[in-house]
Copies of this chain bind each other. A is one copy, B any other.
Amino acid sequence: MGTTKSTGFSKKQNDLVIVLRAMAHPARLAIIQHLLKVNSCIGGELVDELPLAQPTVSRHLKELKDAGIIKGTIDGVKVNYCINSKKWNLIREQLDQLFATSVKDNDCC
């Protein structure tokens, strides 16, 4: 236990969960938002932007990369990070789908 049970749920559900998990951390959300804002790719100046030590930022970047949300290309000593636009649009679609159903006000709640 401590392990999330993924069997018994659809692949679609589990896939979305992976992305949501990756986004569900202030540092990682901040990284995403920063990359969206500056649009152009930037290197590890993210470390200066965040209230976290360099190894910790590196770890979060890795998690975002593993989830497919960001991409990183080595540029000499530095690394350029940016949003994976293809994946980002896919996530948008998945969330649009989730929020497509209009929620009626229920009498019981």
- Interface residues in chain A, defined as those with a beta carbon under 8 Å from any beta carbon in chain B: 4-9, 13-14, 16-17, 20-21, 23-27, 29-30, 32-33, 36-37, 39-41, 50-52, 71-73, 75, 80-85, 88-89, 91-92, 95, 98-99, 101, 103-106, 108-109
Provide the residues of chain B in CB contact with A40, threshold 8 Å. 106, 108
Look across to chain B and name the residue whose beta carbon is closest to the beta carbon of A89: B103
Instruction: Select which of B5, B27, B104 is within 8 A of A26 by beta carbon.
Output: B5
Copies in the complex: 2
Look across to chain B and name the residue whose beta carbon is closest to the beta carbon of A14: B26
Provide the residues of chain B in CB contact with A39, threshold 8 Å. 101, 103-104, 106
- Could you tell me the distance between the alpha carbons of A81 and B108 in the complex, rounded to whole angstroms? 8
- Could you tell me the distance between the alpha carbons of A16 and B17 in the complex, rounded to whole angstroms? 15
A-B contact pairs, 20 of them (CB 8 A): A6-B26, A8-B51, A13-B26, A13-B33, A17-B24, A20-B24, A20-B29, A36-B98, A37-B101, A39-B103, A39-B106, A41-B109, A71-B109, A73-B108, A75-B108, A82-B106, A84-B109, A85-B103, A85-B106, A95-B99
